Structure 1
Amino acid sequence: MIYLDNSATTSPYKEVLDSFYKVSQGFFANPSSIHYLGGEVEQLLTKAKEQAASLLNVLPKELIFTSGGTESNNLAIKGIALQHQNRGKHIITTQIEHPSVLEACRSLEQFGFDVTYLSVDIEGKVSPEQVKAAIREDTILISIMHVNNEIGTIQPIEEIAAISQQYPKLFFHVDHVQGLGKVPLHLAHEGIDLCSMSSHKIHGLKGTGLLYIKRGTSLYPLVHGGGQQEEIRPGTENVSGIVAMVKALRLTFDNQKNKIDEISKLSRSIRECLAADSRIYINSPKTGAPHIINISVPGYKPEVVIHALGKKDIFISTKSACSSKHSDESAVLAACGLEQSRTMHGFRISLSFYNTEEEINQFCRTFLEVLDELSDVMGR
């Protein structure tokens, strides 16, 4: 099997599975219980949070564990909006955000919030100047992803963070789900107030995520309950998932130091091979994240190609897994201004630290063979 859909989800590290099983079996008590079993689990939870904070270079109290990237994004956006609506009701984001950001913003429009959806250039990038020009007296939140989940564009987060610092009453949220472990981001930057992360994108388990909330930033909780996690995200903690996520975070950061050049090399190989075929257009910018390569093949139905590849044990996707079952058109490619022959016929190839040169060579050969086979069927 050749798995090249790692932006949708990744296969868990063996060590992550081992950690999850060990904690589930031996540390099953409720960390809020006052007996010694509960105390042991509470200590384990505290240690896991301290380790995560050390890896991310933030304070333990600045981290809230969630169920994943979608919850983290919703908690950040709605939490800020509801808590600080007396300051203003204007939010800034872009047209190419993940659905969990776009839909969260659209839901707030029903409650009187005004959202500016910034356009992007042909590479999917928003300029800091655009962001600054959109800021108004009543702006309370800017939410922009670090790495685009479909085409891999890296946004100028530090420049936007520097701009946000100039406006003390607004907050800056970064969706770092696709960049985590692949493209460095310094959370300690003074202009970043909130940052979302997800476990299953870094070889952890589904159902666990992180939200960084800079010290002094207040949120309105979306859930009310027993007061766990600073009363921002109450409910009995998923200690097994949290420990497993921290293990995945450490291993991924180790791989980022040692193996990111290998991913870049594989990405270049894919680009060179596919770009040589006149039927194929490369949509991802050369300066984008190395693990995401988006292409278009006009005239070929993406689902037909993907099913044909699947029969050969090769797996890629069309776009974000969270939107792939909706409209055939990629909203991200459309926002980049590409013609419909490309926006309707896009594919996403996404790499992990475990893909090999042999796999990439096999994928490229097979992909072109599938196009040839389908051309014969279509009488081209």
Structure 2
Amino acid sequence: MAQGPIYLDYNATTPIDPAVTEAIGPFLTDGFGNPGSEHHYGAGPRAAVRRAREQVAALLGGSVEGVVFTGSGSEADNLALRGAVLASGLDRPHVITQVTEHPAVLQACQALRRWHGARVTLLPVNSEGLVDPGDLAAALTPRTVLVSIMLANNETGALQPVAELARIAREHGAVFHSDAAQAVGKIPVDVTELGVDLLTVVGHKMYAPKGVAALYLRPGVALEPLIYGGGQERGLRAGTENVALTVALGVAADLAAADLAHGGHHTVRELRDQLHARLAAALPGRVTLNGPAQERLPNTLNLSVRGTIGHDLLAAVPDVAASVGSACHSGIHEPSPVLTAMGFDRDRSLSALRLSLGRWSTTEDVDRAADLIAAAATR
């Protein structure tokens, strides 16, 4: 990245940490064995998978048995939603999520409605993108099987009151799932403190490669598998384990735990606020924050620059790599559904930028990016 544009798109994906890359190597060469094999060549990979499960569990403050490795965050979300609904055995089950949820959850809910007769409730959000716990309490019914509310929004960084929402759901007998893809590694996440039943973790959001993720299950939660086969992952995700990527997620979890323990998230927050302040000073009266001022990810800055179109502004600043919203919406020049759901008008939504920082962001990066964006906006 030192030779390329300033990278401010860590919420889309993170570079692979060199320590993760180093850890993968042996399992692409000598450590090729099948973890299910009982002989010499299976022993090392089997131990590596077990170690990775321990590392992910430690980061989340949960049990080792609760970690199920998957191929993506979308797969983990689908396993959580479809798995919980089908395991309930109810006819016309009720599922609750919210309007600014990740498409993996929203589309899974729509599929449950089409193929299994589920009734789906989408909770609204306020102007900061937050769900009102009272709305959840009012929406719950005796037939509510599952509630799925993301921990952190991928566009604004808004942190939902998941602990309170999970408590309300479980008091009514519903399983609670949270997609924590954007939160794990950026802030401390403890499944016991949150009180969740299911939680999604994604490798490429925390300096591991794409193609590996995990779903955490609280002991006792019943799920129907998405993929049937040889019984891997306690029968919840069949298929021979991808040892190299599983190891990568485990090492990334260790690195994230160390970074959080040393206050890395506080350093990133300071850089984010420095970027915001510099842009606001350079463009007086034109910069508006989208999302909560406090209850958001420490690395995420979503703001609108009055008098610009976000896509055009970024196109005018090729030395800065950033986003106008979720990477899932890239190339669609329409207002972000997240910002629209928050009640923002078309002009404010179309002028939005998502600037997300990470492990290798520097003060120099922040200052130069602010100068380049401000100069382009002034032009």
Normalised by the length of structure 2, the TM-score is: 0.94
Deviation, 1:88, is 5.4
Q: Which amino acid aligns with 1:304?
A: D
Match of 1:124 in 2: 129
Give SS of 1:197's match: strand
Match of 1:342 in 2: 348
Give SS of 2:271's match: helix
Matched, 1:240 2:244: yes
Deviation, 1:15, is 0.5
- Per-residue CA deviation, residues 176-207 of structure 1 (Å, 9 max, x unaligned), is 00111122222024731100010111111110
Q: Which runs of 5+ in 2 are unaligned?
A: none
Q: For residues 271-286 of structure 1, what are the structure 2 equivalents within 5 Å?
A: 271-276=276-281, 277=283, 278-286=285-293
Match of 1:295 in 2: 303
Match of 2:265 in 1: 260
Q: State which of 60, 65, 69 in structure 1 corresponds to 2:73.
A: 69
1:163 and 1:358 map into 2 onto residues whose CA distance is 45
Matched, 1:304 2:292: no
Match of 1:51 in 2: 55
Contact 2:127 2:291 in 1 (8 A): no
Aligned pair in 2 of structure 1 residues 107, 42: CA closer, same or farther (>3 Å)? same
Give SS of 2:249's match: helix
1:326 and 1:365 map into 2 onto residues whose CA distance is 27
- Per-residue CA deviation, residues 288-333 of structure 1 (Å, 9 max, x unaligned), is 11111111234423222222222xx211101111122335210000
Contact 1:316 1:348 in 2 (8 A): yes
Range with greater deviation from structure 2 (103-112 or 117-126): 103-112
Aligned pair in 2 of structure 1 residues 223, 195: CA closer, same or farther (>3 Å)? same
Q: How many residues align?
A: 370
Match of 1:365 in 2: 371
Match of 1:377 in 2: none
Aligned pair in 2 of structure 1 residues 257, 191: CA closer, same or farther (>3 Å)? closer
Give SS of 2:371's match: helix
Matched, 1:230 2:234: yes
Deviation, 1:360, is 0.4
1:265 and 1:81 map into 2 onto residues whose CA distance is 42
Give SS of 1:26's match: coil
Q: State which of 313, 319, 325 in structure 2 corresponds to 1:319.
A: 325
Match of 1:376 in 2: none
Give SS of 2:214's match: strand
1:327 and 1:105 map into 2 onto residues whose CA distance is 25
Deviation, 1:87, is 6.8
Q: State which of 139, 142, 145 in structure 2 corresponds to 1:134.
A: 139
Contact 2:60 2:189 in 1 (8 A): no
1:36 and 1:22 map into 2 onto residues whose CA distance is 15
Give SS of 1:110's match: helix
Match of 2:158 in 1: 153
- Per-residue CA deviation, residues 94-147 of structure 1 (Å, 9 max, x unaligned), is 000111111111111112111110000000001211111110111000000001
Please report the RMSD computed on the Cα atoms of aligned residues, expressed in angstroms. 1.5
Q: Which runs of 5+ in 1 are unaligned?
A: 374-380
1:253 and 1:306 map into 2 onto residues whose CA distance is 33
Give SS of 1:72's match: helix
2:288 and 2:58 map into 1 onto residues whose CA distance is 42
Matched, 1:219 2:223: yes
Give SS of 2:276's match: helix
- Per-residue CA deviation, residues 233-256 of structure 1 (Å, 9 max, x unaligned), is 010111100111111111112112
Give SS of 1:205's match: coil
1:216 and 1:190 map into 2 onto residues whose CA distance is 17
2:260 and 2:170 map into 1 onto residues whose CA distance is 29
2:43 and 2:251 map into 1 onto residues whose CA distance is 21
Q: Which amino acid aligns with 2:20?
A: V
Match of 1:201 in 2: 205
1:185 and 1:250 map into 2 onto residues whose CA distance is 13
Q: Which amino acid aligns with 1:314?
A: V
Contact 2:67 2:214 in 1 (8 A): yes
Q: Which amino acid aligns with 1:106?
A: Q
Taking every aligned residue pair, what percent have the same amino acid on both sides?
35
Match of 1:79 in 2: 83
Deviation, 1:5, is 0.1
Contact 1:20 1:243 in 2 (8 A): yes
Match of 1:96 in 2: 100
Matched, 1:354 2:347: no
Match of 1:33 in 2: 37
Contact 2:162 2:194 in 1 (8 A): no
